[in-house]
Structure formats: structure tokens, C-alpha cells
Structure 1
């Protein structure tokens, strides 16, 4: 495995760079300084809100490209490089699917803030980990902000309790199981692969010059772009099938171990 040509490192956050306590290791921040010295661009790519991602990487935020909301928003140093909003015509029908479901919580994600329904306050402790900036509203259909993504939460199993109700939308929208508790719905082009293709074109990076780490189905498109794609040991079977390599789990410094080999 010849890593001498790598110009860009891309990693998912939850289940990948973050451990099970949603923390970034001190070990990573030490490695990051070496990446910076070698002029290797670091990209954080997540289904998380931009502000939530920054909270995890605040000390290095000026040197990171953030691919947020599963690729619907790309920012660097507060400059918006890409937005891919979902059509307003798609939002209300999706909300109506879950209007009577007490344990399913749709969240509307805009560029700057997330909108939660009042019924979601009962699980606010879990949701606030992923949304640093949010507003609670009585009627999501009345939100008039531009929406980048509809994130739908189930406290137990999103793949079982949410995905079957929305899989029929896959012909016209991007529908992703982005974690054990989440299904994300967005514009057809609002995914990490599309965002990374744009960044690779902008920065002149080829498939053998980029290293990508992921653990869940919302990482599949970006993993396919790289000759050096790594699935975490804790990854979804689909991710392990697509990735060319595997590393240890997010709780066993899986990303850091490979980056140490790179530097």
C-alpha cells in the first residue's frame, strides 16, 4: 500500500473519527499537525449539522473543509462552497408520513439551524448531540427557511422503523440510513460522494491521491471515489463490501492508526 501520493484525507465523524462517546482523540489532533505540515488537506464529512461538526474540531476548524448534512453543505473558513437544498414540494409529503408516529421525529435542517417539532423535546437529550443550533416549532410545515435535509430519528432502529416507509422515495430523492437511529432524506445530489467529487475537481485530487474512512451507508458514495477507502471494524456490512481496506474500530483508533502510517 503506497501512500506517498496522498493529498487529501476524508473521514466520516460518528462511528469513524469519533469514539462511542462522540469524542475526537488527542492522538488525532497531534496527527493533524503532521498532516498540515505535509500539506495534506483534511476533510470532515458527516451527516451532522455544520455547527455540531465545528464543535468537535474547533481548535483546527480554520484548516478543515466541512462536508455537512451528508454533503448538502460544504464550507471552509465560513465560506460556503456548495449547497444542495431539497425542493419545498418534497417536504410536506414526507412530514405527513410520520405525523401520527410518536416515536419518529423528523427534523428540518437548514444551512444555519435545525427545526424540531415540539413533540421531539422528549428526546432532546439525544438530539442535541447532533444539533448545536436548533429551534423548536409547533408546525414544521410552516418553516420557510431553505432546507438542505430532512433527518428522521428513531430511538431504537431507524432501518427497521423508518426506512420501509420512505424507501419508495429513492427514485427521486437521496434516502440514506446514516446511523442506527437515523434516516436522512435530501436532494438526489446531496450526498458525500457528489460533494467530494466537486472538491476533488477543485483541488485537483485523483482517486489514488485521496484517503477515505467511513462506517455507514451514507459513506458509500465517497468511499467508491478512492483507491484508499477504509471501512471501520464496526462498519455496516455494505461499507465493508465497498471499501478496499479495513481498519480497527472507532473505539480502537482505527482512523489514527492508518494516518500514522500515512505520515
Structure 2
């Protein structure tokens, strides 16, 4: 019996233009009526995720910032955070600053901060960080930070990730999309967010269904017996998942798979 469904957002639930598939909200309502928990797991901040689902967020849980933040939509409260040591965050910010065409977003549990007014950064921030603030100096922040998101439109795997190799044992460093890389505390990923929810809700791995498409979904899929790689997923995700969706994200693959399995 499925009691918890967790889905990634970009490249998984959402269309490529970031739009929500038709029927998503009706499906969330139907799942809630059956007592099935629905959660969104994303590199996006909690405020953005909540906005994405509007009033239906009250029927949901959220794993935000790639696992660094967990939240309960019903009460609109942060359940758990995994903050970075502030001195280390400053050190990492300074490294990213030194790289060409690279921008840093410092993520708190409730808001994101950035120090460049570049149109490139602003275009890429809009979808992921609805609650954000331009500041003069990120290293002067005196706030708990749960994640550093680093943007390079030429590709973070090639142009950013190698510069942080000396820190791979100290932090969780994940290329979350072609142009984004996230830095969090070690062993923080979407999978830990799923385990937190399972424990809180009294749900087992065998009662969990999950969907993903990219490497930041790897641990997420490992925490669900019913794990689905999207038809459009990268090969490594298809290898770790138990199943593959019959349709891509552009074809509403998550919605169709849930309806097929649960006969909703």
C-alpha cells in the first residue's frame, strides 16, 4: 500500500517551461482524501514551493533546498534544517566569487540572498527563489544558511565543481542542474528529507513512491520501494530506480503513473 508519494519538481513533475501539469491539484486533493501524503522535493526554497502549489500546499509536505529544509504545509512551519557553519560558508562564497561567470546564492530557511544585479542571475533566480533579497556583501550575513547555490550558465560540472574538490569530504556538493551546483552539510540530500518524513508520518520505505530525473534525486529514489526514474531521466538515475515512467515530464509522466498505480 502506498502511503507517501514524493516527487522532484524540475524535469520530473513540471513541464520544461516550469508549468504545472493539468490535473495536479485535483490529484493532490484525491490523494489527501485517501489519506495518502504527497510531498514535493526540490532544490527550490520552501517559499517558492509553497507558492507553486497555492492553497493545495496545506495538504502537503515539502523537502526544500535539496534536503536542507523540511516543512509541513498544513501548519506552514519549518520542521528541520541542516545549517552550514558560517565561517565555512564564507570561505566557499569567496571561492565561487573568484570564478568567471559564476554567481552565488546564499540560502536561508526562509529567504535567499544574492549580491549581483546581473540580469543573468535574476533570470535564473525567479523560478526557484520567490523570497529573495539583494545584499551588498554575502560574507557579512549574520543568518543561518542551509545551502549555497552556485550558478554558471556554461555548466557547473565543468566550470565550477572541480574548484570545490578539496571540500568533497567536508560537504555535500551536488550538480543539481546543468547550470546549478549546491553545497550543503555532509550527508544532506533529498533522501534524508524523505527519511525525516517517513519517521514523522510513521511510513515505511515499502509504503513510499518517489519520482526523479537528475543526480540530486539519487538518494531520494533509494528511500522508496516504488522508485521511478522519468522516461527523460539521465542514465544513472534509471539505473538506481526500480521503475521507469512510461511518459516524460512534458507528457505528464508523474501524474499518469500515480493514477495508473493507484487507480485514481
TM-score, normalising length: structure 2: 0.94
Aligned-partner Cα distance in 2 for 1:86–1:53:
22
Describe the SS at the equivalent of 2:62. Answer: strand
Aligned partner of 2:97 in structure 1 is 99
Give, in angstroms, the shift of residue 170 of structure 1.
1.8
Q: What CA deviation, in whole Å up to 9, does each residue of 1:162-209 have, x standing for no partner?
A: 111123322111111111111000111321111111111121211210
Describe the SS at the equivalent of 1:9. Answer: strand
TM-score, normalising length: structure 1: 0.94
Matches within 5 A, 1:64-83: 64-76=60-72, 77-83=75-81
Given that 1:231 and 1:246 are in contact with CA atoms closer than 8 Å, whether structure 2 keeps it comes out as: yes
Give, in angstroms, the shift of residue 126 of structure 1.
2.0
Once the two structures are overlaid, the 10-residue window that deviates more, 10-19 or 111-120, is 111-120
Aligned-partner Cα distance in 2 for 1:167–1:211:
33
Instruction: Name structure 2 gaps, 5 residues minimum.
Output: none
Aligned-partner Cα distance in 1 for 2:181–2:199:
29
Aligned partner of 2:254 in structure 1 is 255
Aligned partner of 1:21 in structure 2 is 17
Aligned-partner Cα distance in 1 for 2:106–2:185:
13
Aligned-partner Cα distance in 1 for 2:43–2:165:
18
Aligned-partner Cα distance in 2 for 1:21–1:226:
28
Describe the SS at the equivalent of 1:212. Answer: strand
Once the two structures are overlaid, the 10-residue window that deviates more, 96-105 or 118-127, is 118-127
Aligned partner of 1:158 in structure 2 is 156
Given that 1:46 and 1:68 are in contact with CA atoms closer than 8 Å, whether structure 2 keeps it comes out as: yes
Instruction: Name structure 1 gaps, 5 residues minimum.
Output: none
Describe the SS at the equivalent of 2:113. Answer: strand
Give the 4+ runs in structure 1 shifted more than 3 A: 119-122
Q: How many residues align?
A: 259
Given that 2:97 and 2:104 are in contact with CA atoms closer than 8 Å, whether structure 1 keeps it comes out as: no
Given that 1:84 and 1:189 are in contact with CA atoms closer than 8 Å, whether structure 2 keeps it comes out as: no
Aligned-partner Cα distance in 2 for 1:198–1:13:
19
Aligned-partner Cα distance in 2 for 1:149–1:130:
13
Aligned-partner Cα distance in 1 for 2:78–2:27:
27
Q: What CA deviation, in whole Å up to 9, does each residue of 1:198-251 have, x standing for no partner?
A: 111121211210000011111111100111100112212221111111112110
Aligned partner of 1:233 in structure 2 is 231
Given that 1:85 and 1:190 are in contact with CA atoms closer than 8 Å, whether structure 2 keeps it comes out as: no
Given that 1:72 and 1:190 are in contact with CA atoms closer than 8 Å, whether structure 2 keeps it comes out as: yes
Describe the SS at the equivalent of 1:147. Answer: coil
Give, in angstroms, the shift of residue 121 of structure 1.
4.6
Aligned partner of 1:175 in structure 2 is 173
Matches within 5 A, 1:213-224: 213-224=211-222
Give, in angstroms, the shift of residue 99 of structure 1.
2.2
Give, in angstroms, the shift of residue 119 of structure 1.
4.9
